[in-house]
Chains A and B, each alone.
Chain A
Amino acid sequence: MGATLRAVRALVLLSGFYLLGLGLLALLGAADWAVVLWAPAAIRIKVLIVSVLLAIPVVRGMAMLRTPRDEEPGGVLVTEADEPRLWATVRELAREVGTRAPDEIRLTADVNAAVTEDARLLGLLGGVRRLYLGLPLMAGLDEAGLRAVLAHELGHYVNSDTRLAGLGVRGRVQVGRMIELFHAKADAKVDKERARQERKSEKRIARGKKAKEIDTEGAGVTYRTMARIYSAYGRLYLRSTTSGARRQELAADLAAARIAGRDATARALRSIPAIDAANDHYLSSYAALGTDFGLLPARGEVFGGLRHLLAARADEVAGLCEELPDEPASPYDSHPPVAERVARIEALPDDGRATEGSGPALGLLTSPEAALGAIEDVSLTPEAQHMRRLDWPELVHEAMSARVARGTEELRAAAGAGAGSLPALLDAIDAGRTWEIADRLPKSEKAAAATGRAAREFARPALRRGLSALVTDELLRSGRARWELSWTGPATLTLPDGTADALPAALDAATADLPDTGPLRALLSQQAPLPL
């Protein structure tokens, strides 16, 4: 289908959305009119109120038709002078694909590459072309893989996909929003109904009766019906546009395979979900490890540290590349499932380019370190930019130590002034004050309701945890323990010889009903610092 035809179809579908809204309003109006004429007063008021309630989201939905204004283009703009090799590669690929090269290249901190075009006149005329390129994505690909990704993205320009994207996206966003709006209303109604029934069953229990099962099936039915009407339209909309969108993706894949090679393209497609998963894990478990305590990795490492993780876990990542999601991320996703895309590429005849060697994709940049540093300036919040920067081993040790220290706070507070230090707490345990202190630790509702021995059992894990933190904190402060970075697993605590084996039993003994702090005191009295 040509670009013009597709534009017309998108317009028709979008106006269908208006027609649906107007139709629904007319229907509600007709119902009101009928009720005013024939129904008794009580029903009349009820129907009028319901119809107004239903009309509000319809009107709101139609008024919200504007898609949110395009944001400022993000990322770090790199000129041809900054990155000559990257620009040369993109230009060469654009030529091979058969389209005009982008006007801007912007480096970002995502595991993604994307092209956009500021289209004019509903997408009938082209505008400024931008290529967004995520450095973490580059960190996970080799040069051939990156060429495949770039060729795929540039392929979208050829097909005028980018120009029409605005209109298609607009309709898709619109219908999706409408459905959400009605579902949100229905859920709010269900929550209200649940709260009402819970209050009622509390009363029943208070009166010594059995509580009824809570049943909210009937609540929010009208809103859900409206949502269903819009969902039906949404499905129609998607059926007529998604297959097109997915065809565009497959066409772009074929272009990539032709230019970058079959195997490099398939490999890149397989890698992207794996890199994405690795990056999620990296960001939460490594880059953000010390953010609670105002600590960040050294400049260039906040996003660049992913390289170490990928290198250390190459086997794991390779395993992830083998298991591909065979369902689209959501029914509204314009991309076909990765498994299908990979299967189509791998079914192509061998082009004999499997063995083409290539270096890491980041090698295309003049200085990967400088680029990784530069994207921090545009990606980190001002607050994060002022954090203390540490090299990885120091960062892990300090951040984990700070976590341990934080873990001691509750017990210190519960022990109160005077018993907050470890020696004082051990003395308090020996003096039989354990449960008086443990009773002041934060507790759940059930634990608070328990008395006697049961209360003690509820408190024991928190007490043991707190005591363990105090002991670890003491060992860390005195240089007898150290946290070690590992790129293949969680950070590990290195303790003096024999301590790791003896510590659990010593903690058990100190927090037992008949407490014995002896083993713990013995462990703490060992003076040998770690060999560093």
Chain B
Amino acid sequence: MARLIPLTVLAVCLYFWFKSRRAAKAGGSGSSTAGSARNKNVEAAASLGLLPADRLDVEEINPPSPERAAATATVRSGDWAAGAAYVEEAGRDWYERDRRISLLAEAAVEDDAWLLAWRRERPEDPAAAAVHACSLVYLAWEIRGSKQARHTTQEQFASFHRVLEQAREAFARAQELAGDDPTPFIDELPLAMGLGYPHEAFERIWTEIEKRDPHHFSAYGSGLQYWCRKWCGSHEAALAFARRGAEKGRPGQLLTLFPLEAYFEQESYESDIEPQEFYNRPEVVAATDAALADVAAAEQVLDARDPRIVQTRHLLAWMLYWQDRYEEALAQFRLVDGHIGCRPWTYSGDPKARYTKVRDYTAAEVLKKRG
């Protein structure tokens, strides 16, 4: 018996030593070697002037816009006419009109007294109808909550579906009033995705969108989600859809972002894809180069903080990182650092960790190469 004790102690020690080694290899934060490498990366990022993790905003992709905040505040105070005017100011810039309608729809989720007044006063107002339809989708998700199904009550599911059905009717009404405006068609796409519209129904909506604006950035964004494997399509369908847009889009319209998104969706969905290999495939590298050229063209026509450019830069940084093109990746990081509320970071349970890991590693590699 007495002889067994030292042996047991030895076995236990061996076990813990082995366990700690495995943790180190997997990049666990508990081990000292991985930890010091991580620290070096953080220092590299800091020396390049990139922001520390605690100053990153994970909700938005841009600093708050005073103009948009003012629009929200005005309608909330009951001045729906100001909201109507704000939408109309966008004119025939359908991308901007859609953004403004979505903003007001968001504002109507908590309190819609102003929207009800608007609809009562102007039952035929296309903007009011579009805001109403769009806000019902947001409201449905507010009721559903973001918890897993088992933490969501029957009552929540029932109300969620009831409100989505209402949204469907509201979109039909808004589309009747829409005229040239593609917005109420585009904003129905997330509903098509959530309610699993059949492909023919999607195509009907898409035809109406293309008639009104064949190069609409947000339409391709929502359409791509619909065609993703996790919603109503497949990896192939999503990529084909994105490529059609990228080929059709003019330089500077940034529809070249969507093939990159399709690749990213595929890699996120499939657990057995090795990202290092996948993102270095020739077609992915070619799509990355196309998007880089498109961003350069967009810089000439769009505002530097235009959400289309910013979103493209975030995904470009991700692709360039995996393609070991660290200088180019760093250039993108420098331009978007600080606000990280979009893909690819938001698909991680801890967006900040994913972002800083990729960015700081990039920074360290750049410094290493520069010597």
Residues of A within 8 A of B (CB): 444, 446-447, 450-454, 457-458, 460-461, 513-514
In the bound complex, do residue B120 and residue A514 qualify as a contact, i.e. CB atoms below 8 Å apart?
A: yes
A460: chain B residues at CB < 8 Å are 159, 162
In the bound complex, do residue B158 and residue A453 qualify as a contact, i.e. CB atoms below 8 Å apart?
A: no
Please indicate which of the listed interface residues A444, A452, A454, A513 has the most CB atoms of chain B within 10 Å of its own CB. Answer: A454
B111: chain A residues at CB < 8 Å are 452-453
In the bound complex, do residue A453 and residue B156 qualify as a contact, i.e. CB atoms below 8 Å apart?
A: no
A458: chain B residues at CB < 8 Å are 143, 155, 159
Pick the contact of A453: B110, B119, B120, B155 (CB < 8 A): B110
B163 adjacent to chain A (CB < 8 Å): yes
In the bound complex, do residue B116 and residue A514 qualify as a contact, i.e. CB atoms below 8 Å apart?
A: yes
B139 adjacent to chain A (CB < 8 Å): yes
B237: chain A residues at CB < 8 Å are none
B120: chain A residues at CB < 8 Å are 514
CA distance A450 to B153 in the complex (A): 13
B155: chain A residues at CB < 8 Å are 444, 446-447, 458
CA distance A261 to B362 in the complex (A): 89
CA distance A452 to B111 in the complex (A): 5
In the bound complex, do residue B153 and residue A454 qualify as a contact, i.e. CB atoms below 8 Å apart?
A: no
B162: chain A residues at CB < 8 Å are 457, 460-461
A446: chain B residues at CB < 8 Å are 153, 155-156
Residue of A nearest to B108 (CB): A453
B158: chain A residues at CB < 8 Å are 461
Please indicate which of the listed interface residues B156, B162, B163 has the most CB atoms of chain A within 10 Å of its own CB. Answer: B156
In the bound complex, do residue A444 and residue B110 qualify as a contact, i.e. CB atoms below 8 Å apart?
A: no
CA distance A454 to B142 in the complex (A): 7
CA distance A17 to B214 in the complex (A): 82
Pick the contact of B110: A452, A461, A514 (CB < 8 A): A452
B57 adjacent to chain A (CB < 8 Å): no
A215, chain B: closest CB distance, angstroms = 15
Query: 5 more A-B contacts (CB under 8 A) besides A452-B110, A453-B142, A454-B143?
Result: A446-B153, A446-B155, A450-B143, A454-B142, A513-B112
- Known A-B contacts A458-B143, A514-B119; the reply to A453 vs B112 at CB < 8 A is yes
Interface string of B140-169 (1 = CB under 8 A from A): 001100000000010110110011000000
A25, chain B: closest CB distance, angstroms = 31
Interchain residue pairs A-B with the least CB separation, the first 8: A452-B110, A457-B159, A452-B111, A454-B143, A454-B142, A453-B112, A446-B153, A444-B155
B14, chain A: closest CB distance, angstroms = 27
CA distance A451 to B155 in the complex (A): 16
B109 adjacent to chain A (CB < 8 Å): yes
In the bound complex, do residue B143 and residue A457 qualify as a contact, i.e. CB atoms below 8 Å apart?
A: yes
Pick the contact of B139: A451, A453, A461 (CB < 8 A): A453
A-B contact count (CB 8 A): 41
Interface string of B103-139 (1 = CB under 8 A from A): 0000011111000100110000000000000000001
B153: chain A residues at CB < 8 Å are 444, 446
A118, chain B: closest CB distance, angstroms = 52
Residue of B nearest to A443 (CB): B155
CA distance A176 to B221 in the complex (A): 63
CA distance A450 to B142 in the complex (A): 9
In the bound complex, do residue B109 and residue A453 qualify as a contact, i.e. CB atoms below 8 Å apart?
A: yes
B143: chain A residues at CB < 8 Å are 450, 454, 457-458
22 A-B Cβ contacts within 8 A?
A444-B153, A444-B155, A446-B155, A446-B156, A452-B109, A452-B111, A452-B112, A453-B108, A453-B109, A453-B112, A453-B139, A454-B109, A454-B139, A457-B139, A457-B143, A457-B159, A457-B162, A458-B143, A458-B155, A460-B159, A461-B158, A513-B112
- Per the CB 8 Å criterion, the residue count for chain B at the interface is 18
Residue of B nearest to A210 (CB): B349
B156: chain A residues at CB < 8 Å are 446
A461: chain B residues at CB < 8 Å are 158-159, 162
CA distance A513 to B120 in the complex (A): 10
A457: chain B residues at CB < 8 Å are 139, 143, 159, 162-163
B214, chain A: closest CB distance, angstroms = 35
A444: chain B residues at CB < 8 Å are 153, 155
CA distance A23 to B8 in the complex (A): 36
B112: chain A residues at CB < 8 Å are 452-453, 513
A212, chain B: closest CB distance, angstroms = 14
A373, chain B: closest CB distance, angstroms = 44
Please indicate which of the listed interface residues A446, A452, A457, A461 has the most CB atoms of chain B within 10 Å of its own CB. Answer: A457
Residue of B nearest to A432 (CB): B116
Residue of A nearest to B158 (CB): A461
CA distance A444 to B143 in the complex (A): 13
CA distance A13 to B30 in the complex (A): 60
CA distance A128 to B119 in the complex (A): 83
CA distance A95 to B143 in the complex (A): 72
Please indicate which of the listed interface residues B116, B119, B120, B159 has the most CB atoms of chain A within 10 Å of its own CB. Answer: B159
A451: chain B residues at CB < 8 Å are 110
A513: chain B residues at CB < 8 Å are 112, 116
CA distance A465 to B116 in the complex (A): 23
B108: chain A residues at CB < 8 Å are 453
Residue of A nearest to B145 (CB): A446
B163: chain A residues at CB < 8 Å are 457
Residue of A nearest to B153 (CB): A446
CA distance A375 to B307 in the complex (A): 80
CA distance A453 to B110 in the complex (A): 6
A454: chain B residues at CB < 8 Å are 109, 139, 142-143
CA distance A446 to B111 in the complex (A): 18
B1, chain A: closest CB distance, angstroms = 14
CA distance A155 to B75 in the complex (A): 86
A514: chain B residues at CB < 8 Å are 116, 119-120
CA distance A461 to B159 in the complex (A): 8
A447: chain B residues at CB < 8 Å are 155
CA distance A452 to B139 in the complex (A): 10
B165, chain A: closest CB distance, angstroms = 11
Residue of A nearest to B135 (CB): A453
CA distance A458 to B162 in the complex (A): 10
B306, chain A: closest CB distance, angstroms = 31
A124, chain B: closest CB distance, angstroms = 58
Please indicate which of the listed interface residues A452, A453, A454, A461 has the most CB atoms of chain B within 10 Å of its own CB. Answer: A453
Residue of B nearest to A451 (CB): B110
B159: chain A residues at CB < 8 Å are 457-458, 460-461
CA distance A453 to B141 in the complex (A): 12
CA distance A69 to B89 in the complex (A): 88
B142: chain A residues at CB < 8 Å are 453-454
B66, chain A: closest CB distance, angstroms = 25
A23, chain B: closest CB distance, angstroms = 31
A44, chain B: closest CB distance, angstroms = 21
CA distance A458 to B145 in the complex (A): 13
B119: chain A residues at CB < 8 Å are 514
CA distance A515 to B232 in the complex (A): 36
CA distance A447 to B116 in the complex (A): 22
B110: chain A residues at CB < 8 Å are 451-453
Residue of A nearest to B143 (CB): A454
In chain B, residues 161-184, which have Cβ atoms closer than 8 Å to a Cβ of chain A?
Answer: 162-163
A450: chain B residues at CB < 8 Å are 143
B303, chain A: closest CB distance, angstroms = 33
In chain B, residues 67-122, which have Cβ atoms closer than 8 Å to a Cβ of chain A?
Answer: 108-112, 116, 119-120
